[in-house]
Chain A
Amino acid sequence: MNRLAGKISLISGGARGQGAAEAELFAREGAIVVIADILDNEGERVASDINGAGGEATYIHLDVTQELAWATSVREVVDRYGGLNVLVNNAGINNSSSIEALTVSEWNRVMDVNLKGVFLGTKFAIPAMRRSGGGSIVNISSTAGMVANPGVTMSAYVASKGGVRLITKATAIELAGDNIRCNSVHPGIIQTEMLQEMMANDELVAKRLGSIPLGRFGTVRDVALLVLFLASDESNYITGSEFTVDGGLTAQ
């Protein structure tokens, strides 16, 4: 199928995990994919795998916390492909310190990547999308941007993802007249590199599995398929909304 035919799409944090799954799926659906990350080797590999399979992808080095880097990256994309239609603000980091132990520099780091990164990506994507006649911005938040969970300490992460949830709505309101849609995605517990530590702890895994109605962790593909829908024209009347993909975690 060609659900994203010709759509020029930038995916931050696209070098591995959810971002890489999104990049591969987008390419299969006909998108031109720009993978932006700081993990150069992994990012180059994802791009070359896509190109090798007949898709169209480029890797660019982008630290989402750097304003200048965003300006340059978006300009590169526009110069090379002639516009920008889809931005997936996917880059993110975790932090599992308790509030008491959390340092200010840890707090700042999480906010910089998870929240400032989304702000900057959106800020620099807007003019390019406007010139392209509109677009879709998909912000990756988390169920942790809606509720906090017992037994896990991640206050900085929760706060940053809650911020992502609401900047999404502000963006949607501001840009509705420009035909730029903006929605947030809230994955539950997804098996990725980011959760390797948790996955190694059998007791914790059993406990978390017990909390999910569907009885399994999510896969990166589960999330990518939802992001694909929000990036595509199938969701043309959807903006400012939040989408859980959590096996029923937050339905309880």
Chain B
Amino acid sequence: MVAACGYGRNRPSDFDERSGARIAWLDTETQEHGTRAQSWCNVRLDGKCAVITGAAGGIGRAIARGFAREGARLVCLDINADGAMRLAREIGDSAMPVACDITDFVAVKQALADSVRFLGRVDLLMAVAGGSGDRPVPFLDLDLQTWEWMRSHNLDGNFNCGLLFARHMAANGGGAIIFTSSQLAEVVRPGLAHYSAAKGGLKMLVKGMAVDLAEHGIRVNALAPGTTSTDSARTYYSRPDVLEANKRLTALGRMAEPEEMVGAAVFLASDEASYVTGATIMVDGGYTLQ
């Protein structure tokens, strides 16, 4: 590893005067000379207290690990208690699992209380939980149950988390909320009217919350992943022709890896994005471009 962080030779004190982020000193091994040199790195989420919903899924796991690497303490929230526990154990002392079904308002209230007990406060909500179901359903075949499942998992659940965590943040000096939208909030595909409707609603919830919460020091943005190589996507795209069609629709010609969502999530979560609110960051390989 190259020893330098930033200018390397430079004094660290003048690095991040505006965000006030703590600068951590690290000992790094320089391969070239085989000597230990003192270097420094800026941890981009140092001191942040984050709750990640859907933490046990592919994207949630990658982002949770990314947040932990950048110095955040976190609660890994998921309806899948085992998955949340495994992830929290892997991350270590800075993470705690919480089992919660976000479509249940009372359960989210309890999860917030548990999170505050562990973290002290929450200034970051990374809401990943959601889903597109396991297969497309042509519109004429939709039933009320399928519609309600889609709406509750992608819209109601995020409303529950958004409302309760925003109230907590407003009372505690502000924070940042990131919802997980989709490329299908912008365009539609056959058999996914119900999914696009839910994600399209979420897109406007993001803007509405951003406008109302700005005065409380809360930024609200969305991360919109394209087709990402997670377990659920692998099931969804198990038919080769469906997979090929998806690749053709993506300018970069491939699915995303979950890790490719981390950069945008860290950016939106950090103080680097302190002037960004009401925005959606598309991480879709150019899917919505064509």
Contact = CB atoms under 8 A, between A and B. Distances in A.
Contacts of A5: 2
B4 interface: yes
Interface in B56-102: none
A176 interface: yes
Interface string A214-252: 111011011101101100111111111101111110111
B225 to A, nearest CB: 8
A162 interface: no
Nearest to A252: B211
B211 A248 contact: yes
With a 10 A CB-CB cut-off, give which of A216, A232, A239, A243 has the most chain B CB atoms.
Answer: A239
B269 to A, nearest CB: 12
Given A215-B215, A248-B210, A240 B286 contact: yes
Contacts of A2: 2, 4-6
Contacts of A173: 251, 286, 289-290
A27 interface: yes
Given A244-B276, A247-B275, A1 B263 contact: no
Contacts of B5: 1-2
Contact of B289 (A53, A172, A218): A172
Interface residues of A, number: 48
B289 A234 contact: no
A214 B251 contact: no
B276 A176 contact: no
A124 to B, nearest CB: 22
B267 interface: yes
Interface of A: 1-2, 5, 27-30, 53-55, 169, 172-173, 176-177, 188, 213-216, 218-219, 221-223, 225-226, 228-229, 232-241, 243-248, 250-252
14 contacts: A2-B2, A54-B10, A172-B251, A176-B286, A214-B214, A222-B276, A237-B283, A237-B284, A239-B285, A241-B289, A248-B277, A248-B278, A251-B210, A251-B211
Interface of B: 2, 4-10, 15, 18, 41-42, 44, 206-207, 210-211, 214-215, 219, 226, 251-253, 256-257, 260-264, 266-267, 272-279, 281-286, 288-290
Name the 8 nearest CB pairs between A and B, nearest first.
A251-B278, A234-B263, A240-B289, A213-B214, A222-B275, A176-B251, A54-B7, A225-B272
Given A54-B10, A222-B276, A238-B281, 7 more contacts: A2-B2, A213-B215, A221-B18, A226-B273, A226-B276, A243-B279, A251-B211
